[in-house]
Amino acid sequence: MILERAKFIHKFVQSPREIGSITPSSRFLAHAMLKEIPWNQAKTIVELGAGTGVFTREIAKKVSPSFQTFIFEQDDDLRTDIETQIPQFTYLKKAEELQNTLKRFHIPKVDAIISGLPFSNFSPSFTKEILDQVQSSLSDNGSFITYQYSLQLRKELKHRFKNVQINFVPWNLPPTFVYICSN
């Protein structure tokens, strides 16, 4: 755990706009992010921006062997570390290639997309590109769940999704807003 935090801080110092936070997400945030997913009904899940794998490890505890799980992480070192720990998932690099990846694996839609991407660090056009792909990749009953350190993304998500629930997680550093979006 200490080594993981040290590596995360090092990655943040190297690329703060890509990492987005100086510390990994807390278990409280992981719980808030994953509690709304209907694990007994879902078949496919995607994680965007896995970082050190805090959510990935929790997903691994909840999915059955029949699940198709895709984990996207831009940083090669972080992605390799998670893949070594949890090899049963499919690991990819670029979240902006979500739709192409799903097509390559013959998956028309997914049940849930969990995101740790730092949207506030992205250009508006890149944020739009990612959210367009998220929206078109979700099944009719699918959920998009992301967290941010501000309410900056609220207007955009409310414009895109019929239902947007926002929960506050004070037991994270920094405290965080979790957006649970569905149609």
**With bands split at pLDDT 50, 70 and 90, how would you rate the model's confidence at 4?**
low
Give the end-to-end CA distance of the chain in Å, rounded to a whole number: 37
The predicted pLDDT at position 3 comes to 59
More reliable by pLDDT, 130 or 23: 130
**With bands split at pLDDT 50, 70 and 90, how would you rate the model's confidence at 162?**
very high
Q: List the one residue out of 92, 168, 169, 166 whose CA is nearest residue 133.
A: 92
More reliable by pLDDT, 8 or 42: 42
pLDDT tens for 88-101 read 999 999 999 999 99
Which domains does the chain carry?
26-182 (3.40.50.150)
Find the length of the chain: 183
Beta strands in the chain (DSSP E): 44-48, 68-72, 90-92, 110-115, 138-148, 163-169, 176-182
Q: Which residues contact 94 (CB under 8 A, 6 or more apart)?
A: 72, 74
pLDDT tens for 29-60 read 999 999 999 999 999 999 999 999 999 999 99
The predicted pLDDT at position 25 comes to 73
What backbone torsions phi and psi does residue 131 show, to the nearest 5 degrees?
-65, -35
The predicted pLDDT at position 173 comes to 85
More reliable by pLDDT, 174 or 56: 56
For the cut 60, the answer to whether the pLDDT of residue 16 exceeds it is: no
